[in-house]
Amino acid sequence: MTLLEKLKNRRSYRKFDQETFDIQLLIDAIEAAKYAPNGANKQPWTFCIIKDPKIKSEIRLQSEEIEKAFYEKISDQWQKDLDHLNVDTQKPFLEQAPYLIVVFQHLYQFDKHGDKTKVYFSDKSVGIATGMLIAALTDLNIDILTYTPSPNQFLSDILKRPANEKPYLIIVCGKGSKSYKLPDITKKTNDEIIKIY
Ligand SMILES: Cc1cc2nc3c(=O)[nH]c(=O)nc-3n(C[C@H](O)[C@H](O)[C@H](O)COP(=O)(O)O)c2cc1C
């Protein structure tokens, strides 16, 4: 399949096989994502690859605690919008998948003298790099889930990231389980989303 065909077939998996693969594939994908356009070329991102089962377990444990509180506080409308995805407070995929990539966004950086320096359009830049990373992973036939626990500060604590880095999202990477029933969703038509002037 071409990359375009692979991207059109990409789906989010919430159940993964435990079989692993060479970590170099993830490094290759991140290396492609680092060429993403970004504000003033500050490259305001760090990609943490987690393969250690103990760290994955800790991330799962703390995520499930957060999810309990999350589902209690979200609006009825939000809950309704999530219903068709069959998601709940349990996140076994965080341990099933061989790798997690936790993307961190830089809020500021430091120059070579240790003085604080600014970053520009960090949100947009990290979003674009994450999109390119997902495309690269898709090209390498790696299935993913973008997972966004909220709040997510616990990820900085577990991974001991510095204060200038804020967790952005988790990309769960592996082989999607054949027994996972993909939600029956549709995508908007080109006419709905493309306006030519
Ligand atoms: C920013 C973002 C956050 C998401 N957060 C979650 C999440 O926390 N849990 C989850 O199961 N799926 C999450 N998803 C996956 C979406 O639910 C999924 O992409 C959407 O339903 C479309 O399905 P598809 O990816 O299979 O096309 C997230 C996706 C994005 C882009």
Q: Which helix (H) or strand (E) element contains residue 152?
A: none
Q: 3-193: what fold?
A: NADH Oxidase (3.40.109)
Mean pLDDT, the chain, rounded, equals 97
Q: Which residue has the tokens 């096989």?
A: 17
pLDDT bracket for residue 83 (50, 70, 90) = confident
> Which residues form ligand 1's pocket by a CB distance below 6 Å?
11-12, 14, 85, 87, 145-148, 169, 185
Q: How many Cβ atoms are within 10 Å of 125's Cβ, its own excluded?
A: 23
> Distance, CA 122 to ligand 1 centroid (Å)?
21
Greatest Cα pair distance in the chain: 54
Please report, for the chain, the start and end positions of each structural domain, with discontinuous segments joined by +: 3-193
Q: What angle do CA 131, 137, 140 make, to 5 degrees?
A: 145
With a threshold of 0.85, does the pTM exceed it?
yes
Q: What is the model's pLDDT at position 21?
A: 98
Answer for the pair 26, 99: CB distance below 8 angstroms, yes or no: yes
Going by the DSSP 8-state scheme, the letter that residue 168 receives in this structure is: E
Mean pLDDT, range 144-155, rounded to an integer: 97
Measured by CA distance, the residue closest to atom 31 of ligand 1 is: 146
